[in-house]
Amino acid sequence: MSDKYDVVVIGSGPAGYVAAIRAAQLGLKTACIEKWKNAEGNGVNGGTCLNVGCIPSKALLDSSFKYHEAAEGLAIHGISTSGVAMDIPAMLERKNKIINQLTGGIVGLFKANGVTALYGTGKLLAGKKVELTDNDGAVSVIDADNVILASGSLPIAIPVAPVDDDLILDSTGALEIGEVPKRLGVIGAGVIGLELGSVWGRLGSKVVLLEALDDFLAIMDKAIAKESKKIFTKQGLDIRLGARVTGTQIKGREVEVTYQTSAGEELKETFDKLIVCVGRRPFTDGLLSADSGVEVDERGSVFVNEFCATNAPGVYAVGDLVRGPMLAHKGSEEGIMVAERIAGHKAQMNYDIVPNVIYTHPEVASVGQTEEQVKAAGEPYNVGVFPFAASGRAMAANDTDGMVKIIAHADTDRIMGCHIVGPSAADLTQQVAIAMEFGSSAEDLGMTVFGHPTLSEAVHEAALAVNGNAIHIPNRKRR
């Protein structure tokens, strides 16, 4: 392949395809390489997120929640149902249809913006050259002025629970379970474990989550984590903390799991299916030649500066490959930033305001600092909390679990963090993220007119509560 490109992107997940589109929009001759293949063996864009991550898991979460509501949640509204059943193959077919729509949409976006789509495996060589091994095995070398590495991440495998894609599954295999397991084990009670556990728990599985850490959702604000655990336990998820899995054994069509508690007790549980969800690792396998000049740490993360530039001139890395949380939206914004900087713009990204969401029901979402982080930094702060149990809109929807928590600096009143467990937490948190981006104070949010009745009013009341001015709950005594 003799063509030279201004930008070559390796990977077309949320970080890669967005970077490629933005680069092309800015007039740069751009190519994007993707190794992913669909069931028919054809190259397909979208990476983990669209194919086996964010999108398919949300499709299953939505389908399973609608089933659960129809089967158990409508009587309070005066709606009687009987004989409600879930057609698992139909649920999976719907999920696959959504995937095909969205991945096909990227093809259309590439064409509309002039991005050259290449299918195969990309490898960075020295001097910003990219070796492309296409899906037929043909090898060529592409010259580039700039290279953006966006190859994403893979599920972490653990030796004590080797994935066999039958009884022991990773997060990818868990999206293809063809029938509801009576007993489902999940190793890891983080974001992915909770979401997948919720799907199958709603459909009738007895779900046990084995979490090695003693703290639940350790990355979240402790008050929100505590409230979330209470809600999920009430829903039937059996969350066992301080439970380190030490071994698994296949016995017929069952998996026997041995785990050790924090107290040193050894216990066993037997499951019909076991999902391993202990995190993800950067996917750098075969990505870099030894002389590429790009440095990688012991975890496989690519070293970059605040603008996602590697130590190799003209080479950038974005998304799950680099430091920070592995979030699709974080990667997308990094991709845009890098494309704009290559084009000569002074783009930057505010890493302090990256929302984090768990798409259970209720959702759990956060942006900014937790109370524990603020306290550890020695900053003076005030907290405002408002429960959804006091929200008229939440009551009308029979969706009152959870609360909104806002943290603001005690001297400047600047919002430092927002943490929500409750209905539409992801969208509500985004409202506060916008406010934080503009340096808003809790008073600014408190002075903003919110529509009534809305779930957003819980954000409004929490902002008022920061300074002891909440209307619809008694105010806490100020410190």
Residues involved in catalysis: 452
In contact, 334 and 14? CB cutoff 8 Å: no
SS (H, E, C) 222-235: HHHHHHHHHHHHHC
In contact, 291 and 126? CB cutoff 8 Å: yes
DSSP 8-class letter at 458: H
- Give the three-state DSSP class for 338: helix
Cα-Cα-Cα-Cα dihedral sign, residues 290, 291, 292, 295? positive
CA distances from 211 to 28, 239, 241, 416, 446 (A): 47, 7, 5, 29, 39
Distance CA 257, CA 147 (A): 45
Whose tokens are 């990094």? That residue is 334
Amino acid occupying residue 443: E
Helix H or strand E encompassing 30? strand 30-34
Facing residues of 187 across strands?
A: 210, 276
Distance of CA 333 to the CA centre of its chain: 14
Distance CA 232, CA 241 (A): 14
DSSP annotation string for 114-129? TPEEEEEEEEE-GGGE
Cα-Cα-Cα-Cα dihedral sign, residues 203, 208, 209, 214? positive
Helix axes 14-25, 88-113, angle to 10 degrees: 20
Spatial CB neighbours of 358, under 8 Å, sequence gap ≥ 6:
191, 194, 195, 217, 228, 364, 365
Supply φ then ψ for residue 381, to 5 degrees: -150, 160
Spatial CB neighbours of 30, under 8 Å, sequence gap ≥ 6:
5, 6, 7, 8, 9, 20, 23, 24, 114, 115, 116
* Residue 171: closest CA among 321, 56, 94, 255: 56
